[in-house]
């Protein structure tokens, strides 16, 4: 990052540098603020045909134009911010397991450690939608509070599996090896995902973000409906094509790119 990029980024997150300690509390504050203020969304992919795999372009989009993005953009630039603030960061390549077993690395997440307090390694992700809302200790066994749910990390020869407890039963979300990747390592899979017709990225627009300080309230807009979850209760409403742009702006303070309605 260059010049006053850090201050601009923190302003986008509603934070000031003086209030962010380089420790677990500061990391938790940064992750939560990111999830509240920066949507996880695929609008450029659906409406303009893709996004460049470039961290400068992602910064200009997220910070300069107050947009969101997908994991490569969001975790890519968040890693840079954390490094400038004084954390040690590894970019992790993860397979997404929501639809069943997979070995395809198609998600970028972060391992964060270091700082003046010698923070133990933490799993951090601001680009997975309804994922963990606070850091998870990577070297800890057993259930952990992710603010929006209980999570657990399981080690195996295949890698570390992140599971979210559903009705008390761990359900696998991601599997990753704790090996550092370069940002450009993800360029081929990002390009493939943009054009893969079997993936939802290129055909079904969505945007989602946190709404509250506890981490349980969330708003999600898809091509035809709006879901607002508050205090454990979800309200779902249909969104007509001629209301979609206004709904997007009302909840995400952003305008849809491209000329076509969803």
**Span 206-226, pLDDT tens digits:** 999 999 777 789 999 999 999
Q: Does the pLDDT of residue 119 top 90, yes or no?
A: yes
Q: Is the pLDDT of residue 113 over 90?
A: yes
pLDDT at 235 over 60: yes
What was the pLDDT predicted at 261?
A: 46
pTM: 0.95
- The alpha carbon dihedral of 84, 69, 173, 228 has a sign of positive
Give the CATH class of 5-252: alpha beta
Cβ-Cβ contacts under 8 Å for 4 (sequence gap 6 or more): none
Task: Express each pLDDT in 150-196 by its tens digit.
Answer: 999 999 889 999 999 999 999 999 999 999 999 999 999 999 998 88
Q: Which residues contact 231 (CB under 8 A, 6 or more apart)?
A: 216, 217
Cα–Cα distance for residue pair 171/217, rounded to 1 Å: 21
pLDDT grade, residue 250 (50/70/90)?
very high
Query: What are the tokens at 99?
Result: 């639809």
**How far is residue 67 from each of residues 37, 40, 55, measured CA to CA in Å?**
9, 9, 14
Output the average pLDDT for the chain. 94
- Per-residue confidence band for 259, with pLDDT thresholds at 50, 70 and 90: low
pLDDT digits (tens, 9 = 90+) for 58-105: 999 999 999 999 999 999 999 999 999 999 999 999 999 998 999 999
Name which of 164, 157, 161, 190 is nearest 176 in CA terms.
161
199 confidence band (pLDDT: 50, 70, 90): confident
Percent of the chain having pLDDT more than 70? 98
Spatial contact of 231 and 243, defined as CB atoms under 8 Å apart: no
Ramachandran bin of 50, using left for φ above 0, alpha for ψ from -120 to 50, beta for the remaining angles: left
pLDDT at 262 over 50: no
Helix, strand or coil, per DSSP, at residue 65: coil
CA-closest candidate to residue 178, choices 83, 110, 92: 92
How far is 134 from 126, CA to CA, in rounded Å? 10
Which value, to the nearest 10 degrees, does the dihedral of the CA atoms of residues 48, 56, 212, 117 take? Answer: 160
């Amino acid at each position: 990052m260059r010049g006053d990029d850090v201050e601009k980024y923190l302003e986008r997150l509603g934070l000031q540098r003086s209030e962010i300690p380089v420790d677990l509390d500061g990391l938790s504050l940064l992750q939560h603020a990111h999830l509240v203020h920066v949507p996880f969304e695929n609008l450029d992919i659906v409406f303009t045909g893709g996004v460049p795999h470039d961290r400068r372009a992602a910064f200009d989009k997220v910070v300069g134009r107050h947009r969101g993005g997908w994991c490569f953009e969001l975790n890519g630039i968040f890693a840079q911010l954390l490094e400038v603030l004084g954390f040690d960061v590894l970019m992790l390549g993860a397979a997404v397991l929501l639809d069943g077993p997979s070995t395809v690395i198609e998600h970028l997440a972060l391992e964060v450690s270091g700082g003046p307090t010698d923070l133990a390694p933490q799993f951090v992700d601001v680009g997975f939608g309804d994922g963990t809302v606070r850091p998870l200790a990577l070297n800890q066994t057993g259930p952990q509070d992710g603010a929006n749910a209980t999570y657990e990390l399981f080690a195996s020869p295949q890698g570390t599996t992140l599971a979210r407890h559903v009705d008390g039963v761990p359900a696998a979300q991601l599997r990753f090896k704790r090996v550092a990747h370069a940002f450009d390592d993800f360029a081929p899979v990002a390009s493939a995902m943009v054009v893969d017709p079997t993936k939802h990225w290129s055909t079904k627009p969505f945007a989602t973000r946190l709404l509250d300080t506890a981490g349980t309230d969330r708003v999600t807009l898809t091509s035809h409906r709006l879901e607002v979850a508050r205090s454990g209760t979800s309200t779902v409403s249909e969104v007509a094509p001629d209301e979609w742009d206004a709904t997007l702006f009302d909840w995400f303070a952003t305008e849809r790119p491209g000329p076509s309605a969803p």
